[in-house]
Amino acid sequence: MSSRPRSAALNRVGVTALLVSAVAVVSVTGVVGVSSPAAASPTSRPAASVSYDLPEAGVYLEGIGIDQRAGYVYVSATNRDGTIYRGRLGSPELSVWVGPRAGDNGRGIAVDAAGRVYVAGGPSGEVRVLGRDGSLLAELATGATGSFLNDVWIGPDGAAYVTDSSLPIVWRVARQHGTWTIQNWLDVSATVPYTPALTDFDLGGIVSTPDRRYLLVAQGTTGALWRIDLHTKAVRQVAVDGAPLLNADGLALRGRTLVVVQNFVRTITTLRLSADWGSARVSEVTATPATRTLTTADFARGDLLVVDSQFGFPAAQVPAIGRVIPFRIR
């Protein structure tokens, strides 16, 4: 990648298809591909060449999780009482996997090595853990007033780390001796300046580094990127050689290439991280269409699947069929 930031427009494959998209695919230059899951359908095609159709209209999508081993993609919706959609990578249909239930909500999703699906519950203040068959394994409430659980990531220890966008806390979900627990793993208030309004979104996107040492967490209100030591819990701001990552929402990491989805500023920023994960330079800035609101991303088969939630647009304008469209960052 070049040493200076480049502005780029998303290369749209089919304007008609773009106008009805609900999930996008971005191929990132220089990113090593993810190997194809062994369990994928023999008739499936590359993830970037198919459209994943939603079965209903007016859905505000939010999170995405990939089961690399079994070849599934999971997508959450914020306005369907916790409904989770699932599809086969490379196959065209998304279907309702877990149906709605009053009080549930769906934000970030992560899938562990056993195929268990973790769903951050946003304003419900809880995490749901689901088996690959859709069974509810655990429902874990933080019990903290005002908690808004935004995103979730499976750490190298197998536990799920969950960001709270309203409270300066990183939560940890784990199963020990047959019992599921959620705990206040780290209070970041001494280092990370949260904004006073509970309606603001502070810590959001979260990933862990390949060396199993750190979490990287984005802060949407300030545009800061934070590095958290998994062993010492030390928190340090990553020095970014570029503009603040305002409205940073989802993160996707491949090697030392970090992709930041900035929702309402309608930008995807690609960063190159240093050897110690303590600094980064902006290598590419991609403007996303003004008619879309992208929220988060995950890698599958070398393609970056980016969720188009359409937040900020009236529900009546949200298309009846959502699709995965091949977008490419130049």
Phi/psi zone of residue 37: left (φ > 0), alpha (ψ -120 to 50 degrees), beta? beta
Residue 28: pLDDT over 50: no
Give the number of domains in the chain: 1
In a domain, 125, yes or no: yes
Whole-prediction pTM: 0.86
Length of the chain: 330
- Residue 102 burial (10 A CB sphere; 0-12, 13-18, 19+): exposed
Q: How far apart are CA 157 and CA 6, in angstroms?
A: 37
In a domain, 137, yes or no: yes
In a domain, 297, yes or no: yes
Segments forming the whole domain that contains residue 265: 7-328
Domain CATH for 272:
2.120.10.30
List pLDDT tens digits, range 162-202: 999 999 999 999 999 999 999 999 999 999 999 887 778 99
Which pLDDT belongs to residue 99?
95
Counting DSSP H helices and E strands in the chain, the numbers are 1, 25
In a domain, 244, yes or no: yes
- Residue 16 burial (10 A CB sphere; 0-12, 13-18, 19+): exposed
In a domain, 42, yes or no: yes
Tell me the β-bridge partners of 225: 218, 238
Which pair of tokens denotes residue 15? 């304007």
In a domain, 247, yes or no: yes
Least confident of 39-43, 211-215, 300-304: 39-43
In a domain, 210, yes or no: yes
In a domain, 2, yes or no: no
Q: Is 16 helix (H, G, I), strand (E, B) or coil?
A: helix
Q: Is 218 helix (H, G, I), strand (E, B) or coil?
A: strand
Which pLDDT belongs to residue 54?
73
Q: How far apart are CA 1 and CA 26, in angstroms?
A: 16
Q: How confident is the model at residue 247 (pLDDT cuts 50, 70, 90)?
A: very high
Q: How confident is the model at residue 50 (pLDDT cuts 50, 70, 90)?
A: low
Residues in CB range of 101: below 8 A, 6 or more apart: 81, 82
Which pLDDT belongs to residue 43?
44
Which pLDDT belongs to residue 221?
96
Which pLDDT belongs to residue 16?
23
Closest CA to 154 of 129, 186, 184, 187: 129
Over residues 73-101, the mean pLDDT reads 91
Which amino acid is it at 300?
Answer: A
